[in-house]
Structure 1
Amino acid sequence: MVKKEDLVIGSFYVNSRYGICIYMGIKDFVGQLKHCFMFKDNRGYYVSDGELNGFYKYGNVGNNPPKLDSLISKISWRRKKQKSMAEARKQAKELLEIYKNRANTKGFAFSKDTPLQRQFEHEVPFTLSPGQFRCIMEIKRDMESDKPMDRLLCGDVGFGKTELAMRAVFKAVQNRKQSIVLAPAKILAHQHYVDFVERFKNYNIKIGLLTSKRNKERAQLLKDIANGNIDIIIGTQNVVSKCVKYHDIGLMVIDEEQKLGVATKDKIKAISANVDVLSMSGTPIPRTLNLTKLHIRDISVIDTPPANKKAPMTESYPWDNDKIKYVIERELNRGGQIFLVDNNINELYALRDYIEKLVPGIKIGIVHGKMRQNEIDDTMEYMLDKKIDLLLASTVIEVGITVKNANTMIIFNSQMLGMSQLHQLRGRIGRSNNNIQSYCILTYPKNKKLEPTAKERLKIMCENSYLGSGFKISERNADLKGFGEIIGLKQSGHITNVGMDYYINMLTQRIKEEV
């Protein structure tokens, strides 16, 4: 239900008794100040703070605002409400069927931590944050149960999700189970492979990177996976393809779950019925948020940042040569490096020439998704070795790139990107945890009138630039996108009839009834 501090004048709300209305602000009503909600035919409904029970936020309306309901005749609202309740009852049964099947499936109960597990965990040169510690305990509790884990690990970019995943994987390997680490992009899968090899180097644990290349090395790797000679298998959607036969899977780690397509998720379901699944996300999709709201899916939130991590400063303004030159030189003067993102690959090389004229002597590298992996690796190595001042890239770098010396991010045509992408890109900076101030600049073309939703996205990004803002951005993103998925299928008019929040309330009640 809505709180008084969440009320916004001009926004749509839903009253459970009367239907859809617009909030008009605080008005005088018979000598008292009350909240005014306007229904059909300009009829006002006045309530005090204590009478807001039964009001729900409607959600984003886009270009199709809903029709207001009548305070006088409730026939239309009752009809819409009954149809939505029927749909909620149907979906409640579907949801419970999916998750009861998993709950009733017997999984593998991993052992308690071994001395070797504790040794592995003590090797890192830092102490877990309180949020990390709580989350890893929740993950281990699930793994040590004989019920298959289905847990979402939500933590902002740079909050240490990967270290927790590594500890879970180590636990699985200690129990002689194979682990899959699935990433949505090749560049992230490669980064994970490098990181896992380094982290596990003191142990006799075999790690394989499964690529799409058809060669002798891949054929041998597939044999080794089937024979149980590979403990940790890392890759993109290839790891769930039919050609991969696993010896004994115990754990699947899914990174950046929100970026996976429906086909990949269906393949995951096919092989993970009795396997522990740990999904990770910095900005969970609306469907995932809805499942956690319904208490159908377990969620662990890393809500405390690492020590000495400073929030980035985020600004949004039209591209201005003098400002951009200043931002670049400010970073270079303190010995740092810069990311400049333009998701139009065809513009990258012209933009490089432009920046070279703007800042003479600057050393620029280019990375994009159409390059070969070895070309990307070479360029990234130059960046890590500080042989490049500025990396000009497409959004291919939004996941899997860690350059601790890069603390300025400039995004060209930022109005074209979604909030999840913008947040992930912003997460590429400020990763050194040495209390250095990082800067994210969201630019858009001069003299361009932004679409209302694009303008709102940039506003939300600037307002939510604090450490741990990813979850809030996901919620705001769900509001902006409006009525998306609940259990994986696009909804018809049932949600638009009553609004997302009230529909979630209906669904929750129907689930309680079914249980």
Structure 2
Amino acid sequence: MKRGLDRSPEPAPDWAGVNAAPDGALLTMPADIDAGFRDPRQRLVVISAPDVLGGRVAMRGDAAPGADLLADPDLRVEDVVIHEDHGVGVMTALERVEVDGVERDALRLEYHGGASILAPVEEFGRIWRYGAEREAVTLDRLHTDAWTKRRAELSADIDRTAEHLVELARRRRETPGVVIRPPKPAYARLAARFPYPETRDQAAAIEAVLEDLASGRMMNRLVCGDVGFGKTEVALRAATAAALCGFQVALVAPTTVLARQHYDSVRRRFAGTDIKVARLSRLASTKEAAEVKARLADGSIQIVVGTHAIAGKDVAFQNLGLLIIDEEQRFGAALKQRLRDLAPEAHLLTMTATPIPRTLQLAMVGIEDVSVIATPPARRRPIRTFLAPFDAATVRTALLRERRRGGQSFVVAPRIDDLGPLADELQRLVPELKTHVVHGELPPEEADDVMVRFAAGDGDVLLATNIIESGLDVPRANTMLVARADLFGLAQLHQLRGRVGRGRAQGVAYLFHDADAELPDVTRARLSTLEAFDRLGSGLAISARDLELRGAGDLLGDEQAGHVKLIGTALYQRLLSRAVRVAKGEIEGPEWTPQLNVGVSGAISETYVPDPTVRINLYARLARLTSTEEVDAFAEELEDRFGALPDETQAFLDLARIQALAVAARVAKVDAGPKAIALTPAPGVAAKDFAKAELETSGDRLLWRGEVPDGRDRAQAIIELLETLA
């Protein structure tokens, strides 16, 4: 090294030049690296600038989970459930029963005609919430083959669906996409214009998008995140990368107001650069639109922000590399396909707070790439939500309270025809407040002007249809009243209430229904979802509930929605997920559950977890865990929530570990006594396939001979044996 420092370094053009240099050469080469590295063979340590100075998106800790989009819905007594072996029934109680002198928990399931069964804890993983009211379903009959036949037919159909979905995903993965890998210094300078630190989820989403763009395959990524959680910044980073690499970008929004908001954000981000930004919507004059289209065709505009006008037949791009669709649930499939046809090999980024059921289902089974932004912005507070019959006194109190704290309010109606009577009612109830009215039949320029002036502080109340659902950012708005909320969809209502409470003040949303009519139970259950899911980041949970209520829609055809109605969302999700894994070749063969006859018993005791509903769901969760790592994490959660684990709960967790290891080791049955442990291989696996010298082969079983202790010590011995096989 001393010899090298006596000479001036020679520049190397690239890594090939470095490799071709003679021993002892001293070279320099600019290298754009994200992090340093060690090469022990060369006794080399490289330290990069981000290692020393840090980086804006350098995050500590694990990324927030985004793949687990939907946890299994909680099970409760009196829920309609579906048992994989017996069909649709009602869960009536969690009971303690004695088996071979040992007390155990079991679920009482009631079927047609009042017949019932007791399902032991080993079967809890085969019981799923059905997602319907008891009065709306027909319970299955026990001791017939009707359910078995129905299940077999459904499974065959779901297998075909999975094969087709996997084929679609394979074709998409194999479709080449343009490689977008921006120069890091220029990208970092534009990224630094974001005035806030990225949240952990935001950083993970940005990193995933950049990896997709650089992969050489066509990106098709969905970014889920609640209103105001930072999805737009993910889109801006993707647009930055594409524009810096010389590609055009199209950002499409469902409304002119949202398109205008995005246009202002994009224009600010690229101000003072050579990247040209334009917008295209119905608000543009004929002359302006023609000029934008001409400049898109010749490539002199790099980024265009607009509405569905971008999908017009006379719109053409010179080099479209990235298509961004915001609020994808507001676009029909035909329009999204027209947008895709603008450039079939362009990367696609879609964003939503509440994905439609079909999109959510595809994401849940791993067909779509998904990033979830669940981290709320700093100081954002949940929107308090109330469901109530329409009441004039409540309306006046809510609007005047908002006025007194210096804020503004929205009053939303489902139809334009409702606005006139509501305007008269507001004039009677709160004549002292200034009210503006906006709806979709106003001339675009007038509607835009009303909303922009209201956002700037002109007026106390904005009376509107759901035209305000997307894109209207009113910092002082903290109260929303929705008339006839039963006529709106869950996703619409969640988007609407996201318009309020975007600052430090507490946001409030009132969901009113007709006071003179009884609200049907199904509708009340649907609207109560908004009350239950009023926490920050609940858009995905609401979409999941919407999926449970409505079904996945047209995955491949109408029959798939019918399947969801027949067997419930939770079981359908499980069957489709497994079928997709089989179709991908990740797993093979029929599903099986190991039998354990090991002389060890355990339970989540009533004294440890007194609430039966909590115990039921802990049993169900544990039964669906598939690795010892997951069981260990579950044990840590139990200890954190309920305190030190009692012996019988420890023993029960050991049984779960044995079950997971048996599956991994392809062992269908485990028998254990004082002198030996016997393992029966799974179907299709021969004992000789294990080839373990310390095990004897006895017929179709493997034997381990030796002193086998009792209790938890026996469980540990079995675990150690299975670990050697797994």
TM-score surpassing 0.5?
Answer: yes
Deviation at 1:49, TM superposition (A): 3.5
Cα distance between partner residues in 2 of 1:106 and 1:189: 30
Cα distance between partner residues in 2 of 1:62 and 1:214: 57
Q: Is residue 241 from structure 1 mapped to residue 309 from structure 2 by the alignment?
A: no
Deviation at 1:428, TM superposition (A): 0.4
Cα distance between partner residues in 1 of 2:583 and 2:344: 23
1:325 aligns with one of 392, 396, 407: 396
Q: Aligned with 2:198: secondary structure?
A: coil
2:80 aligns with one of 12, 16, 27: 12
Q: Is residue 44 from structure 1 mapped to residue 95 from structure 2 by the alignment?
A: no
2:231 aligns with one of 143, 161, 165: 161
CA spacing shift, 1:493–1:134, aligned 2, 3 Å: closer
Cα distance between partner residues in 2 of 1:503 and 1:381: 45
- Residue pair 1:12, 1:22 contacting (<8 A) in 2 also: yes
What is aligned with 2:130? 58
Q: Is residue 178 from structure 1 mapped to residue 248 from structure 2 by the alignment?
A: yes
Deviation at 1:272, TM superposition (A): 5.1
Q: Aligned with 2:341: secondary structure?
A: helix
Cα distance between partner residues in 1 of 2:198 and 2:184: 19
2:568 aligns with one of 499, 502, 506: 499
Q: Aligned with 2:146: secondary structure?
A: helix
1:102 aligns with one of 147, 151, 172: 172
Q: Which amino acid counterpart does residue 361 of structure 2 have in structure 1?
A: N
Deviation at 1:62, TM superposition (A): 9.3
What is aligned with 1:341? 412
Deviation at 1:235, TM superposition (A): 2.1
CA spacing shift, 1:271–1:56, aligned 2, 3 Å: farther
> Deviations for 1:433-463, whole angstroms, at most 9, x for unmatched residues?
xx22111111122232112222112211111
Moved more, 266-275 or 137-146: 266-275
What root-mean-square deviation, in Å, do the aligned CA atoms of Structure 1 and Structure 2 show? 2.3
Q: Which amino acid counterpart does residue 439 of structure 1 have in structure 2?
A: V
Cα distance between partner residues in 1 of 2:511 and 2:535: 16
Q: Is residue 459 from structure 1 mapped to residue 517 from structure 2 by the alignment?
A: no
CA spacing shift, 1:165–1:27, aligned 2, 3 Å: same
Cα distance between partner residues in 2 of 1:188 and 1:402: 9
TM-score normalized by structure 2?
0.67
Deviation at 1:267, TM superposition (A): 2.0
Alignment of 1:433-444 (within 5 A): 435-444=504-513
Deviation at 1:381, TM superposition (A): 2.8
Cα distance between partner residues in 1 of 2:353 and 2:383: 16
Deviation at 1:488, TM superposition (A): 6.3
Q: Give 1 or 2 for the bigger CA radius of gyration.
A: 2
Alignment of 1:20-419 (within 5 A): 20-27=88-95, 29=97, 34-60=106-132, 64-65=136-137, 67-73=138-144, 75-212=145-282, 215-271=286-342, 273-419=344-490
Deviation at 1:139, TM superposition (A): 1.2
Q: How many residues of Structure 1 are paired with residues of Structure 2 in the alignment? A: 510
- Residue pair 2:80, 2:134 contacting (<8 A) in 1 also: no
Q: Aligned with 1:172: secondary structure?
A: helix
Moved more, 445-454 or 481-490: 481-490
Unmatched 5+ stretches in structure 1: none
- Residue pair 1:102, 1:273 contacting (<8 A) in 2 also: no
Cα distance between partner residues in 2 of 1:401 and 1:342: 16
Deviation at 1:13, TM superposition (A): 1.9
- Residue pair 1:305, 1:468 contacting (<8 A) in 2 also: yes
Cα distance between partner residues in 1 of 2:562 and 2:496: 35
Deviation at 1:352, TM superposition (A): 2.1
CA spacing shift, 1:9–1:154, aligned 2, 3 Å: same
Deviation at 1:112, TM superposition (A): 4.3
1:485 aligns with one of 541, 545, 554: 554
Q: Aligned with 2:125: secondary structure?
A: coil
TM-score normalized by structure 1?
0.93
Cα distance between partner residues in 1 of 2:506 and 2:93: 39
Cα distance between partner residues in 2 of 1:489 and 1:259: 20
Percent sequence identity over aligned pairs = 32
Unmatched 5+ stretches in structure 2: 1-69, 585-726
- Residue pair 1:84, 1:503 contacting (<8 A) in 2 also: no
Q: Aligned with 1:491: secondary structure?
A: helix
What is aligned with 2:651? none
Q: Which amino acid counterpart does residue 280 of structure 2 have in structure 1?
A: L
- Residue pair 2:361, 2:552 contacting (<8 A) in 1 also: no
Cα distance between partner residues in 1 of 2:524 and 2:438: 28
Cα distance between partner residues in 2 of 1:447 and 1:157: 33
Q: Aligned with 2:560: secondary structure?
A: coil
Deviation at 1:269, TM superposition (A): 4.2
- Residue pair 1:197, 1:207 contacting (<8 A) in 2 also: yes
Deviation at 1:48, TM superposition (A): 3.4
What is aligned with 2:698? none
CA spacing shift, 1:61–1:357, aligned 2, 3 Å: closer
Deviation at 1:505, TM superposition (A): 2.4
Moved more, 92-101 or 399-408: 92-101
Cα distance between partner residues in 1 of 2:468 and 2:134: 30
Cα distance between partner residues in 2 of 1:306 and 1:116: 27
Cα distance between partner residues in 2 of 1:32 and 1:148: 53
Deviation at 1:390, TM superposition (A): 0.8
Q: Aligned with 1:252: secondary structure?
A: strand
- Residue pair 1:483, 1:496 contacting (<8 A) in 2 also: no
Q: Which amino acid counterpart does residue 26 of structure 1 have in structure 2?
A: L
Deviation at 1:288, TM superposition (A): 1.5
Cα distance between partner residues in 2 of 1:496 and 1:405: 43
CA spacing shift, 1:475–1:176, aligned 2, 3 Å: same
